[in-house]
Amino acid sequence: MSPLDSYRSLFGLTGPAYVLIAFVARLPLAMGQLGTLLLVAGATGSYGAGGAAAGSLAIANAVGAPVWGAWADRFGQRRVVAVQSLAGAAGLATLLAIVHSPLPWVWSAVASALAGLFLPQIGPLARVRWRPITERTGRPQPRLVETAFSYEGAADEASFVLGPALIGLGVSLASPTVALAAAALVLATFGTWFALHDTAALTHAVTRRTTAAAGRLLTGALTLLCASQFVIGTVFGSVQTGTTVLATSAGSPGLTGYFHALLGVGSVVAGLGMAALPPTWPLPARLGWFAVALLLLAVPLLIVDSLAALVPVLLVLGVSIAPYMITTFTVGERVTPRSRTGAAMTLLAAATGLGYAVGAAVAGRLADWGGHTPAFAVTVAAGAFAVVLSWAGRGVLARALS
């Protein structure tokens, strides 16, 4: 079956409406961090305050995501994601109100953390739904599940390209307030719609049937996969920091978001192409070779000295990212008990968010010392660590999958 036929068969199980709802519902998370940064920085005149507020949102989301994922496994995505969507939208509205009040900026950081705590991780939760959806046909369809994870990886990457771009468009046409208010409205509408879709009830029914054999969540294999996602988050954070420094030194700081989006473009294309990989290629081996590709394609960042030279490097580097992430999430879903899948998927997403924060912080400190090249060196170091981690852990993953 060709990749196009695989995607046609997959989307035929739910209809195009669900695919659209699940994609749009994940945009507010992608919009939240940049929107918060621009909103608070614009209101206070301090990028330090804006960065603190945006960082509070990201860290709170990373901490809260696995907890919400575990509750979704236990109580069902309908109730949990509906609460998250409405509370997250209210949190963003509260942030807007505080920013435009006389309160000190620190209260904006508190409100940002509150909003981040509730923002749902739609992408990981959507992954949880695909196996029950495919099994509704009456027989297991592992190839379609792999196709679903390829799509979800590409959709996540596309959302993190489109989300910041929508914030930028909203700021250009109106203001950061309008842009973030739009994110809150999208979350309340599409997040709730995603929560109430009948696929959520289907997933919970399967979870209830497998609760008795819950098993342990944090196994050696899942810990290894969390470390792998932490590495990818470090890549995201360091690349964004290095790009920001290079664009600022070139006198075009406003181009940072567009250049960072180039990383996502290559990643989306590669993610969609994952459906064409032969199922006989073992997942641990895939992860190892994708890590090698990540390292090799990151090395040219060390010789980039202009924005023009950065364009092809980011486009090509992105090709290695989605395949690596899709493989970690696919393995994570397979090695986790069915009743704990939501917790596992959101835990992997949380590790990515924490890696982003660490990568951005370390790259920022090095950039203060030596500019964009030391910042990009963090990306290369992350790639090297990914190679060591994936090849050293092949046996652990292979045993967990057997």
Residues 117-129 pLDDT 10s: 999 999 999 988 9
Between CA 67 and CA 129 the distance in angstroms is 18
| pLDDT the model gives residue 209 | 57
- The average confidence (pLDDT) of the chain is 87
Residue 318 has pLDDT above 80, yes or no: yes
More confident call, 156 vs 18: 18
Between CA 195 and CA 201 the distance in angstroms is 9
Summarize the confidence of residues 147-151 as an average pLDDT. 87
Angle in degrees, CA 311, 376, 163, rounded to 5 = 60
pLDDT category, 7, cuts 50, 70, 90?
Answer: confident
Query: pLDDT of 74-84, one tens digit each?
Result: 898 999 999 99
Residue 287 has pLDDT above 90, yes or no: yes
Token couple for 92? 């963003």
Query: pLDDT of 177-204, one tens digit each?
Result: 998 999 999 999 999 999 999 888 877 7
pLDDT category, 212, cuts 50, 70, 90?
Answer: very low
| pLDDT the model gives residue 167 | 82
Cα 229–chain centre separation: 10
Query: pLDDT of 331-356, one tens digit each?
Result: 998 888 878 888 899 999 889 888 88
Residue 361 has pLDDT above 90, yes or no: no
Residue 268 has pLDDT above 90, yes or no: no
| pLDDT the model gives residue 154 | 86
| pLDDT the model gives residue 205 | 64
CA 124 vs CA 1, 23, 26, 66, 348: distances in Å: 26, 12, 10, 10, 8
| pLDDT the model gives residue 207 | 59
More confident call, 209 vs 288: 288
> What percentage of the chain has pLDDT greater than the value 70?
94
Summarize the confidence of residues 53-67 as an average pLDDT. 88
Token couple for 376? 């990009």
Please classify residue 187 by burial: count the beta carbons closer than 10 Å to its beta carbon, then call 0-12 exposed, 13-18 middle and 19+ buried. buried
More confident call, 168 vs 186: 186
27-36, 222-231, 291-300 — which is least confidently predicted? 27-36
Between CA 94 and CA 1 the distance in angstroms is 49
Residue 43 has pLDDT above 80, yes or no: yes
Which domains can be identified in the chain, with CATH numbers?
1-213 (1.20.1250.20), 215-402 (1.20.1250.20)
- Say if CB 137 and CB 18 are below 8 A apart: no
pLDDT category, 27, cuts 50, 70, 90?
Answer: very high
Query: pLDDT of 251-261, one tens digit each?
Result: 876 676 677 77
Between CA 115 and CA 95 the distance in angstroms is 8
| Residue 237, C-beta contacts closer than 8 angstroms, at least 6 positions apart | 355, 356, 357, 358, 359, 360, 361, 363
Residue 41 has pLDDT above 90, yes or no: no
More confident call, 257 vs 143: 143
